[in-house]
Amino acid sequence: MKKYRLALLKGDGIGPEVVSSAAHVLDVASQSTGLQIEFVELLVGMEAYRTTGRTLPPETMKGISECDGWILGPLQTGSYPKDDKDYPMSSGKIRKQYDLFANIRPAKSYLNTLNHIDLVVVRENTEDFFPNINLHKGYGEFWVDKDTVMSLRVIRRSSCKRIAKTAFEIARSRNQKKLVTAVHKSNVLMEGDGLFLDEVEHVHEEGYQDVKLEQKLVDSTSMELVTNPERFDVILTTNLFGDILSDEAAGLVGGLGLAPSLNSGESYAMAQAVHGTAPDIAGKNVANPVSEILSSAMLLDWLFSRKGEERKVFETARRIENAVREQLLSQNPKDKTIDLNGSASTQEFTSSLCMRILANS
């Protein structure tokens, strides 16, 4: 039986708390199914800087390549010491190094049974306006003069093609509306978003005509996400638009504490909570770990679907997701963290969730 090695990169702020919670839940769920998991802790962020003088040491980059998947906590990007050799370190460097081109961000109603939001934002993850990842070497923003900054945007046909295929595959597998909404601003960004839409249409015509395709401007999509979110299934878009729309969708279902995310490519995948480091509550044992927990379940799903791994991987992910759903629907305030109007600490929430997993085994 294969033993899966999962890297734990705890990050900054509340990262060590939520990543530890996710690892504990994974450990309990895997034991209930007989799945074998080994956790490998690697340094990243301020802890790595204090130890090695770098926030993303070479040992960490090499270590993650030797694991089957990675679980990353939030990082305080942009505020690391200026003498950090990796400044400004962010998860973008990991995504670029290992070509994690797809950022998958589901938004699902767990708290309210009267609300039936169940959508996925599929976001291109390696280019666009993000200056630390859109160039091979160097920084994508520069000063023309003391009063003017220019930002470079990169959109590649190959990137549009592979993210479009990812979105259509997800829509097909969800077996619900089978609808992909391609979100753009081609009336203004005519060349870049025009290329994006052209490639989306080509991919659709070549092999996904069983999936419906529609095109929407990003501004009207933003409004409709608020007024009629239930109509969406899979939202396909470029990096910056996806970053914004996925946070908006998360707000509709309970906030970033409930918003999972997976960064994936052909060979590697990384679970990463959508939320930030929340320094105001770091170390207080009150952080909501659901985002990191569900992200870890998504990592198991990736292992199962992309690598054809054993059924126990899939079953472990389902036990985690089902337990989260059951606990969030509970009316007992001890079953929810403070941000969800509950009274449970991070550890208490995690312990309750683990008991549910074992009870339902």
Token readout for 29 is: 């769920």
Taking only the tens place, the pLDDT of each residue in 24-36 is 999 999 999 999 9
* Cα gap 361→355, rounded to integer Å: 10
Together in a domain, 68 and 168: no
Taking only the tens place, the pLDDT of each residue in 288-339 is 999 999 999 999 999 998 766 688 999 999 999 999 999 999 999 999 999 9
Number of domains comprising the chain:
2
Decide which of 234, 252, 270 is a domain's last residue. Answer: 252
Residue 61 lies in a domain: yes
Residue 65 lies in a domain: yes
Decide which of 252, 283, 318 is a domain's last residue. Answer: 252
- Whether pTM > 0.75 for this model: the answer is yes
Together in a domain, 235 and 136: yes
Together in a domain, 145 and 246: yes
Together in a domain, 44 and 85: yes
The per-residue pLDDT for 2 is 85
Which domain does 12 fall in, by range? 1-101+260-361
Taking only the tens place, the pLDDT of each residue in 60-78 is 999 999 999 999 999 998 7
Alpha helices in the chain (DSSP H): 15-33, 46-52, 58-65, 91-97, 157-174, 192-207, 218-227, 239-252, 290-307, 311-329, 346-359
The per-residue pLDDT for 306 is 75
Taking only the tens place, the pLDDT of each residue in 186-226 is 999 999 999 999 999 999 999 999 999 999 999 999 999 99
Residue 265 lies in a domain: yes
Mean of pLDDT values over 37-51:
96
pLDDT band at 259 (very low <50, low <70, confident <90, very high): very high
Decide which of 211, 233, 252 is a domain's last residue. Answer: 252
**Residue 146, domain CATH:** 3.40.718.10
Together in a domain, 246 and 285: no
Together in a domain, 134 and 231: yes
Together in a domain, 174 and 265: no
CA angle centred on 248, ends 246 and 252, rounded to 5° = 110
Residue 293 lies in a domain: yes
CA quadruple 320, 326, 329, 332: dihedral, nearest 10 = -110
Residue predicted with more confidence, 271 or 131: 271
Residue 108 lies in a domain: no
DSSP element (H, E) containing 144: strand 141-145
